[in-house]
Structure 1
Amino acid sequence: MPNPATALNAAADKLHEAVRANDPAALGALLTPDAALALVEVLNARAYLAQTGAADFNPEAATDYEALRLAERILTPQPWDYLTTDGTRLRVIPERLPQHQGGSVVLIQICEAAHTQVTPDGPEFEMRTADVPDLAAALTARTEWATRDGLDGILVVRPEGDGMRLAYTVFARDTTGQSADVDRTMLVPEEQRQDLASALRRALDVALGWEA
């Protein structure tokens, strides 16, 4: 039976060779959801060995730093952000953790400027991937729609004026750092409505890619 550590080290070698060759196709083939996190762990360990002097055993071990940074950039999904004039931020970002079928989520964050003093992310609503298409469809059709998360949180979207009101309640830390039911709401202007729906669909594709 093949040794898993040997296989991972060989994959890590291929990864930093792909970095040096600037080969996007090879990088994409190596950084699959089932192997990516393990590869990052291997690169972390090898980079640490290089830092502590064990690089003498591998003259190119420093390349692991390069590969590690690139792997982290590839694995970190880029959020879609909308920022209001008062500093409130709406963010859509897929969770990037391996999950069982149907277990991944898309995170929706409405973060007020004052909340960044407690946490840079703010309270977030964890939307199940099964619900994301319905939210995107409601935004596209300008219709009211609501759902709950796996706990007691609730998210609602409804037409309001020329835009769409997005609101949710989750149990999280408030602006004082205390745990409480936190309400967040934002009026999504008409010019951002379709952009938000598109961002949700892209985040859904990424989240589903991490499901086993």
Structure 2
Amino acid sequence: MKLYGYWRSSAAYRVRIALNLKGISAEQFSVHLVRDGGEQHQAPYIDLNPLELVPTLVVDDELDTEALSQSLAIIEYLDEIYPQAPLLPASALERAHVRAMALTIACEIHPLNNLRVLQYLTQTLGIDEAAKNTWYQHWVASGFAALEVLLARHSGRYSFGNTVTLADLCLVPQVYNAQRFNVDVTPYPNIMRVWAECNQLDAFADAAPERQADAI
């Protein structure tokens, strides 16, 4: 396997955690999201991932080499192919709850604050840094308020009970980003409790942005 990512990409961060939890080795390639206008916008990466986003996981199928995009799709693929340390519960109802928490982050918070959105706000619309940060903090606070309620209902040691799930793989990178943009996280004790528990595990700690080979 080959994982194309970037040290600060929260989507790539999710996949790194999944690989670590399952003990899967993947050769890692850095796609610098800022240098020279962003390497994700340049050939040959566009041929690999027409979305021009990271991560991309390249796997050797029985018949061909396949490039997979979208972090949650990649993680669920890994969970199906490598069922050890499952990241989704056994029952359909519990899986729905876990996916709801994961998607609260991956669909409601992250897309509004992704790099290309922030660049559009500043480079195209001319919004200054202070206004950009206000935008970022607003959408994180909105999503975290909902996630805090879901964790109050379902969390144990981790986001859903006492076993690491897909929800945790989304939560930890999002908290990292929130802290980076100076979001006040004190109103979210459940989120921060789960974040701290997850980071006690080597699989999460070793996936942290600052520990990656391309970290600046």
TM-score by length of 2: 0.23
Higher relative contact order (CA 8 A, sep 6+): 2
TM-score by length of 1: 0.23
Whichever of the two has the greater Rg, that structure is: 1
Flag the structure with higher helix content. 2
